[in-house]
Structure 1
Amino acid sequence: MAGLSCGAKMLKFIMFVMNFLFWVIGGAMLGIGIWLAVDDDIGFLEDLIEDNPMDDPLWSAAVYTIIAIGAFVFLLGFLGCCGACTQNSCMLCAYQIIVSIVLVAEVVCVILMIVFKSDIGDGFEESMLDTVINKYEQPTQGSATAAQDEMQRDMKCCGAKEPEDYQKSAWYNITVNQQYKVPRSCCKGVEDTGNDNDYSDCNDEVGTSTSNILFNRGCTQQVKNWIDDNSIIFIAVVCSFIGLQILGLIFACCLKSSFDDLDGTV
């Protein structure tokens, strides 16, 4: 029986290495996801999420997404790696089917995101506005409050559409004599210094177009600006990922053909 050609051996090696990396990455993601799901005492989350982190819907959704993606990448890497190593045509066939389904799903998702881009943006804005008006500093909403504060500090923004959003909020109604119009996380450096005079000065500048201490831009627009500024990176990452999948699909097809020819050669 004739052996594999030099080109087929090279493809087999590349296929093995590429999918071995997928297998390791998938296993790591799966392990981390399971750890986050079962461990109730996660030190770095103590300040962000009260009680059991998995009780928070956003956190639990993120964890289960990591587990699902990790399991999928692990399975894909296993099929590709073992299929190439053992010259198993059935495994490579399953690999081709899964990658093809994923590619179609990715194309559909991209098309849907383009078509419903404005709806997604509106939904994001409504969700953030709901957090500011109804959830900020409310009982049992510690994770939502911490997430909003973190966003305002990092993105240098305040409120959903504008700082004035807080004056329509449940938080505003419980502030002392309603003297504060925005939380401290909307003010530059105030949380670090703890200076109440600076905090008062910051609140005095609510409604002005420019300020040296108040973050006077809404967080929705800041997030959109950040996405626009980093769109090239996002596109490059997505294209690279899709490119790797297409290469893997081509390699799997070529290898399967070589293995089938080898099995039929006496």
Structure 2
Amino acid sequence: MAKCCLDLAKFLLFLVNLAAWVLFGTLLAGGVFLLVESESILGFPIQADVSADNPSALYFMLLLIGLVVCAFFFVFTFLGCCGAACQNRCMLGSFIIILFVFLGANVGAILFMYSHFPSEVAMVTAELQKTIPYYDPVAHQSMVRAFWDAVQPMLACCGAESFRDWASVRGLKPGRKVPASCCWPSEVSDCVYQPEPNNAYMAGCVSQVHGPLVVLFWAIPVCLALMVSLALCVCLHGDRRTSTRHASGASSNGRGMRRRRNKRSDSRQSQYSEETGYIYRAHDSAYPSAPPYNPQFRDHEALQHSADSYPTGLIPPEPHEYTKPLIQPPAYHEVMARRNQF
């Protein structure tokens, strides 16, 4: 069950990062294409210049910021995708650290926005209302016109606070109260002269953005927390698997070392014993429990019961398991004859 949950976490982390990687890669490629082919797409070229003399400086700055953000998230999601697929601790660690930074920054931004929300909304509304008098329906390269004509149909709004913001625009044709971008596509002819709820967007763009922005601000930290949880599960699972593999390798190495040590001990045990005068063959990694009687060793009973006759840490076998000496001891009279020579 635990393995299935960890596999599911790895799959979800890989799938989410793969989708985000493809999305940001597409946005990055689209932004580069828009920067190169801006004249054919927007009708005016976006020049790589931020000076005040450049009419497209604002577009260039926004596009440049968008490209940098997309490139960063493209690399960031690549770390998460490959780290989840390969269970690479280095990639997953970098991914988790960046996620924690984003999570902290997002929580701080939410707290700041809620503490200054009314003043921020009023400031944004006032700044947008300042741009409305510069709306020129004739100049095709007007940045203000391009902005409002793109934002109002997309958000289904009209003006910054309401459709009444367009009453101060002198650039509109005589009799028109709102631009055509405030109207429903099928009711443009009547809407521009008499905007009503059944043919025009009546709400302001700031109020239309407020609701989705609040949902987005709460959804981002929740998603980041889920991503951190999934990444931690996958990373810890990889650490546990690596430690288990190392432990099993160490245990196998330990068993091999013990076998080699016992083999060396066995080879040392098959040697000549000066106390008894016999050569013993090792049996089950131990000396025989009771050496045969040897008249050369007077205190043979002490030898039979001495703990020093066995290697340290080895259990002596049963008395019937000892092996006979390879070299038979000399007869008693031969031993006595050798003593008398001295």
Q: Normalized against structure 1, the TM-score is what?
A: 0.67
Q: Which amino acid aligns with 1:27?
A: G
2:185 matches 1:185: no
With 239-248 and 88-97 compared, the bigger mean Cα shift is at 239-248
Distance 1:85 1:187, change over 3 A: closer
| Alignment RMSD | 4.1
Q: Which runs of 5+ in 2 are unaligned?
A: 49-54, 250-342
1:26 — aligned with what?
A: 24
Greater RCO structure (CA 8 Å; 6+ sep): 1
Given candidates 237, 241, 252, the residue that maps to 2:223 is 241
Q: Is contact 2:160-2:205 (8 Å) kept?
A: no
1:146 — aligned with what?
A: 146
SS of 1:182 mapped into structure 2: coil
Q: Is contact 1:96-1:253 (8 Å) kept?
A: no
Task: State the distance in 1 between where 2:140 and 2:182 align.
Answer: 25
How far is the alpha carbon of 1:261 from its aligned partner? Answer: 1.8
Q: Is contact 2:10-2:230 (8 Å) kept?
A: no
Distance 1:261 1:142, change over 3 A: same
Q: Which runs of 5+ in 1 are unaligned?
A: 203-209
Q: Which amino acid aligns with 2:229?
A: L
Q: Is contact 2:157-2:208 (8 Å) kept?
A: no
Task: State the distance in 2 between where 1:85 and 1:211 align.
Answer: 55
1:131 — aligned with what?
A: 131
CA displacement, residues 8-48 of structure 1 (integer Å, 9 cap, x when unaligned): 555444443333333322322222222223333342x23xx
2:252 — aligned with what?
A: none
Distance 1:36 1:259, change over 3 A: farther
Alignment of 1:108-257 (within 5 A): 108-133=108-133, 135-137=134-136, 142-151=142-151, 155=156, 157-158=158-159, 163=164, 166-167=167-168, 169=169, 172=170, 180=175, 182-185=177-180, 202=194, 222-228=204-210, 230=212, 234=216, 237-238=219-220, 241-257=223-239
Aligned length: 239
How far is the alpha carbon of 1:131 from its aligned partner? Answer: 0.7
How far is the alpha carbon of 1:136 from its aligned partner? Answer: 1.6
SS of 1:51 mapped into structure 2: coil
Q: Is contact 1:84-1:255 (8 Å) kept?
A: no
Q: Normalized against structure 2, the TM-score is what?
A: 0.54
SS of 1:251 mapped into structure 2: helix
SS of 2:38 mapped into structure 1: coil
Q: Which amino acid aligns with 1:234?
A: L
% identical aligned pairs: 19
With 92-101 and 181-190 compared, the bigger mean Cα shift is at 181-190
Q: Which amino acid aligns with 1:123?
A: M
Task: State the distance in 2 between where 1:186 and 1:34 align.
Answer: 28
Distance 1:15 1:258, change over 3 A: farther
Task: State the distance in 2 between where 1:186 and 1:23 align.
Answer: 34
How far is the alpha carbon of 1:158 from its aligned partner? Answer: 4.7
How far is the alpha carbon of 1:125 from its aligned partner? Answer: 1.3
Q: Is contact 1:11-1:255 (8 Å) kept?
A: no
Task: State the distance in 2 between where 1:7 and 1:155 align.
Answer: 43
Q: Find the structure with the greater CA-based Rg.
A: 2
Q: Is contact 2:106-2:220 (8 Å) kept?
A: no
